[in-house]
Amino acid sequence: MIPIILASGSKNRQTILKSINVPFQTIVSNFNEKNVREKNLSIRAKKLARLKGEAVYKNNRGIIISADTFTGCQGKVLEKPNDRTEAINMLNFLSDKQAINYTGFYYYDPDKNIKVSKTFQTKIRFRRFYESEIKDYINKFPVTSWAGAYAASELYVMGMIATVSGSLTGLTHGLPLEELIPLLRLSGFYPKP
């Protein structure tokens, strides 16, 4: 059986793959995301995930899983902040607003000729944040490593979110398990029901 390759360095994506007990290796794509200039955020997420996966597949044989995640709010795209000041500005901007988490997803199994490329959208309603908690949060967490300066997998952040509608694991871990598990079954990694 060919190996599963996670084309991402994301610790959250690695954690969720480990949680479902599938063997995988991690190979980080060196694809430059800045080259993709797509105004439609759903298409942009899907395209980024696919291009990252294809970049890894060029030199590696296996089942490729890749993803890309960012947040959109009121016409703005919130990716990883460059520094703590930008993170504070992002969190102040998200306070008491609804945003959409876009998770582009790509799955390619060359042996079974399975190729899936799509975007999962998760609507998030953030409660109002207090200045003191933003400062506390910025001091406790690696906010510059997360799109939108938040990681919904952290319990602290879960308390900042009022409601969620859409792919839960797409939001929390950047990988939609509701899509991935059936694909892994088709590839022979789980017994069929």
Active site residue ranges: 68
Asked whether 69 and 102 are in contact (CB, 8 A), the reply is yes
CATH number of 4-186: 3.90.950.10
Domain definitions of the chain by residue range: 4-186
Structure tokens at 72: 């959109």
pLDDT band at residue 38 under the 50/70/90 scheme: confident
CA neighbor of 161 nearest in space, from 83, 169, 13, 153: 153
Asked whether 51 and 108 are in contact (CB, 8 A), the reply is no
Whole-prediction pTM: 0.89
Asked whether 186 and 109 are in contact (CB, 8 A), the reply is yes
Write the pLDDT tens digit of every residue in 69-123. Answer: 999 999 899 988 999 999 999 999 999 999 999 999 999 999 999 999 999 999 9
Structure tokens at 53: 């996966």
Residue where the block lists tokens 């439609």: 40
What average pLDDT score do residues 161-170 get?
95
What is the rounded distance in angstroms from the CA atom of residue 138 to the CA atom of residue 135?
Answer: 5
